[in-house]
């Protein structure tokens, strides 16, 4: 879609990108594929041991495509309905193929082809289907089973377990046979053919999902049921702004791809398997980090998900809890206590990074995981996660790890963490990475606070070490060196020290915050990972320099490919595609930068700042302490309303407090407005209207 034309949430084209990696993805929490691709992936299904662990390629019958010799073609990704379509227009008829990953029947993907006669002719109309599907896989030992309700059936296990002696996931797949030709009879005006693919870990679930899909298709409501489920997801995360068309399109694209990765609200019993940088559709051997889960999930994607869908945020935390035993073993093998989360994680929590240096040195990941738990706790006060579901055990284990990883410096009278790789991966084996040590400090403080809240004993050393850990600071230049011995001007790969300001909220003055931004902005690799410039943008918005922020945010657009707004990791096109990490950073500019939202232990702070090109921002469903808030911000006015308050557990009544001292109670169904100014949302001291 050209800038400024049509619906910003529908991306159309008359030709496909030359690089098939840039085709759009259709994904739900359990299944994903790129359009016209002959493989799909199922969540949690990995093959290969340790550093060779990768998403297992499942053969996909859904890669079919209508042949269109000489016909006019168009393609569309509709982010409102969660569907991709391909239309061919010929004299006398049109044929349209639609593809989607069903968002309530999450073990089901579907494709349909509709041929529609446009004139009064009575001759048969035939469309050829092209398919590369072969029921074989390089990662699965597959066998054929008996047909079921007209569907073919294969099943099998992955070839190699992630850890020796570990389980090999099983895949069961049913699919509608794909004919070579579809023919609309001479007496027919229109006909739709449905092609279903069900993939699950058991024969029973695959058959149940396929049968349910057939029933909905027979009733003419298969697509409608998907659109209904997807629309509910979109409504629960509606973010609208008045601004440049390219910004609005980028926003819709980011929401589409990130929301596609989330677990459905009505499937709490289905375990969630985390979000990798390239999403579920990517991650075969040798591409997109092989489908592994990094800090990208916890630091870059999670904060957006938390504000919009706390239930999905909880599922992400459960993924980390499920892999805690693997993280504990990682720590033991390196000679430390507690839990060291892997730099690259798959199904077990063991380190699966193909290159040893990252798994050994990029240890900030454990603090990144814990920061997500802290943000969730502050935003939801969900005690059950910590008291009953294993959350406390994880927090305690990470705190133990940090204590065992530190050493005391007699010379400086501070704790050091030595021999690490910071987020800036151009440097390794450094001492006292500012980011690593600051996130460790935050981990220990949170563990101590949570222990008090849960009335649990906690070692005094947690807070003592948090106070005494070294975070490098140059008193003369008033900035944070990236690590001990960093020289100003040394090239940096990506956002690193700037993350101290946000999301870490490490204590510092506005002068130091500015100095950090100005020190690192010119030396950060211009073709580094896409999420980097988002954090510079948030920093400048915080300092009320929105035009400098906009100049940073604009750099992200070179990572967004046309026509389907698929992000690439690096501006030169290299790295992961469908780069959800970059999208997560971009969304944080809008959800945390434009709004000034900051999650603290006692309140949700706000302090809006817009670039000149943005005039209005409306967030329809921000979650805080069991309440759903609608927030509308312009440069002149902020309007807030609680649109829904949970009953079980009961939501905390809220109030808005401005820095000027004014207070506004937030009662469900009533809106309040006030001139745009900084303030915060907190629990109301009164629980009755």
Per-residue exposure over 16-50, b if at least 16 CB sit within 10 Å of its own CB, e if not:
beeeebbbbbbbbbbbbbbbbbbbbbbbbbbbbeb
* Nearest to 18, CA basis, from 529, 573, 575: 573
Helix (H, G, I), strand (E, B) or coil at 632: strand
Nearest to 278 by CA among 34, 45, 104: 34
Give every CB contact of residue 648 below 8 A, 6+ residues apart in sequence.
none
Render the burial of 501-516: b for 16+ CB within 10 Å, e for the rest: bbbbebebeeebbbbb
CA dihedral 535, 536, 541, 543 (to 10 degrees): 120
| DSSP bridge pairs for 85 | 76, 98
Residue with tokens 């400090």: 441
| Chain mean position to CA 243 | 24
The HSE-up count of residue 486 (CA atoms within 13 Å, CB side) is 33
Chain centroid to CA 478: 35
Instruction: Output the 3-class SS for 475-499.
Output: CCCCECCCCCCCCCCCCECCCCHHH
User: What b/e string do you get for 331-370 counting C-beta neighbours within 10 Å, with b at 16 or more?
Assistant: beeeebbbbbbbbbbbbbbbbbbbeeebbbbbbbbbbbbb
Is 600 in contact with 378 (CB distance < 8 Å)?
Answer: yes
Distance in angstroms (rounded) separating the CA atoms of residues 504 and 353 = 26
Nearest to 209 by CA among 225, 193, 233: 225
CB 115 within 8 A of CB 128: no
What are the distances in angstroms from CA 189 to CA 21, 56, 118, 186? 37, 42, 8, 8
CA distances from residue 655 to 191, 579, 592, 646, 675 in whole angstroms, order as listed:
56, 38, 20, 16, 16
CA distance 45 to 637: 49
Read off the DSSP letter of residue 590: I
User: Is 204 one of the catalytic residues?
Assistant: no
In the chain, what is the straight-line distance between the N-terminal and C-terminal CA atoms, in Å? 49
Alpha carbon distance 583, 620 (integer Å): 20
Instruction: Please pick, among 287, 337, 425, 490, the residue that the annotation labels catalytic.
Output: 425
SS in 3 state form for 217-247? HHCCCHHHHHHHHHHHHHHCCCEEEECCHHH
DSSP 650: B
Q: In angstroms, rounded to a whole number, what is the distance separating the alpha carbons of residues 115 and 117?
A: 7
Closest CA to 586 of 547, 564, 560, 548: 560
Q: Which residues pair with 93 in a beta bridge?
A: 90, 117
Q: CA 492, CA 117: separation in Å to the nearest integer? A: 59
- Read off the DSSP letter of residue 345: B
> From the CB of residue 305, how many other CB atoms can be counted at a distance below 10 Å?
26
How far is the CA of 493 from the CAs of 292, 487, 523, 527, 568, in angstroms? Answer: 21, 15, 9, 9, 16
Nearest Cα to Cα of residue 471 among 512, 425, 431, 517: 431
Ordered strands of the 125-130 beta sheet? 65-66, 125-130, 181-184
Catalytic residues: 425
């Amino acid at each position: 879609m050209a800038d400024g034309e049509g619906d910003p949430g529908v991306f159309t084209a008359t030709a496909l990108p030359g690089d098939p990696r840039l085709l759009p993805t259709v994904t739900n929490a359990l299944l994903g594929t790129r359009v016209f691709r002959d493989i799909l992936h199922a969540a949690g299904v990995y093959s290969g041991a340790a550093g060779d662990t990768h998403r297992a390629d499942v053969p996909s019958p859904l890669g079919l495509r209508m042949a269109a010799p000489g016909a006019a073609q168009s393609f569309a990704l509709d982010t409102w309905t969660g569907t991709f379509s391909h239309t061919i227009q010929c004299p006398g008829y049109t044929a349209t193929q639609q593809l989607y990953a069903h968002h309530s029947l999450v073990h089901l993907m579907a494709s349909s082809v509709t041929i529609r006669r446009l004139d009064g002719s009575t001759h048969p109309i035939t469309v050829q289907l092209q398919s590369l599907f072969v029921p074989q896989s390089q990662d699965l030992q597959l066998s054929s089973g008996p047909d079921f309700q007209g569907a073919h059936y294969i099943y099998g296990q992955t070839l190699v377990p992630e850890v020796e002696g570990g389980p090999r996931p099983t895949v069961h797949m049913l699919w509608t046979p794909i004919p070579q030709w579809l023919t609309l009879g001479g007496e027919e005006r229109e006909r739709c053919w449905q092609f279903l693919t069900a993939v699950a870990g058991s024969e029973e679930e695959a058959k149940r999902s396929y049968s349910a899909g057939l029933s909905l298709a027979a009733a003419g409501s298969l697509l409608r049921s998907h659109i209904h489920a997807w629309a509910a997801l979109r409504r629960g995360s509606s973010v609208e702004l008045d601004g440049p068309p390219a910004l609005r399109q980028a926003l819709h694209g980011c929401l589409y791809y990130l929301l596609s990765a989330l677990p459905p609200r009505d499937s709490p019993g289905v375990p969630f398997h985390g979000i990798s940088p390239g999403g579920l559709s990517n991650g075969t051997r040798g591409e997109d980090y092989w489908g592994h889960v990094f800090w990208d999930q916890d630091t870059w994607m999670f904060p957006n998900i938390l504000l919009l869908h706390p239930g999905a945020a909880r599922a992400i935390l459960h993924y980390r809890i499920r892999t805690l035993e693997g993280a504990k073993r990682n720590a033991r093998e390196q000679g430390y206590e507690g839990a060291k989360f892997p730099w690259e994680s798959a199904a077990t929590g063991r380190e699966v990074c193909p290159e040893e240096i990252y798994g050994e040195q990029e240890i900030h990941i454990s603090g990144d995981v814990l920061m997500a738990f802290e943000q969730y706790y502050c935003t939801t006060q969900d005690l059950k996660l910590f008291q009953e579901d294993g959350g406390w055990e994880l927090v305690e284990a990470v705190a133990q790890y940090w204590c065992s990883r530190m050493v005391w410096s007699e010379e400086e009278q501070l704790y050091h963490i030595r021999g690490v790789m910071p987020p800036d991966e151009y440097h390794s084996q450094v001492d006292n990475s500012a980011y690593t040590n600051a996130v460790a400090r935050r981990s220990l403080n949170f563990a101590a606070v949570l222990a008090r809240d849960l009335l649990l004993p906690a070692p005094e050393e947690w807070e003592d070490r948090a106070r005494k850990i070294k975070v490098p600071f140059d008193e003369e230049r008033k900035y944070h060196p990236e690590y001990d011995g960093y020289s100003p001007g040394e090239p940096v790969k990506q956002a690193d020290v700037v993350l101290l300001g946000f999301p870490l909220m490490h204590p510092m003055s506005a002068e130091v915050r500015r100095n950090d931004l100005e020190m690192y902005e010119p030396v950060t690799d211009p073709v580094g990972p896409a999420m980097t410039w988002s954090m510079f943008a948030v920093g400048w918005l915080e300092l009320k320099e929105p035009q400098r922020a906009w100049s940073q945010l604009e750099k992200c657009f070179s990572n967004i490919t046309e026509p389907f707004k698929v992000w690439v990791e690096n501006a030169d096109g290299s790295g992961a595609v469908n780069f959800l990490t970059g999208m997560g950073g971009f969304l944080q500019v809008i959800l945390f930068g434009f709004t000034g939202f900051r999650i603290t232990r006692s309140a949700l702070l706000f302090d809006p700042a817009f670039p000149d090109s943005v005039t209005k921002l409306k967030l329809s469903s921000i979650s805080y302490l069991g309440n759903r808030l609608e927030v509308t911000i312009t440069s002149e006015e902020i309007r807030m309303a609680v649109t829904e308050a949970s009953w079980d557990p009961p939501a905390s009544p809220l109030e808005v407090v401005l820095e000027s001292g004014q207070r506004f109670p937030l009662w469900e169904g009533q809106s309040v407005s006030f001139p745009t100014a900084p303030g915060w949302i907190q629990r109301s001291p009164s629980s009755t209207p």
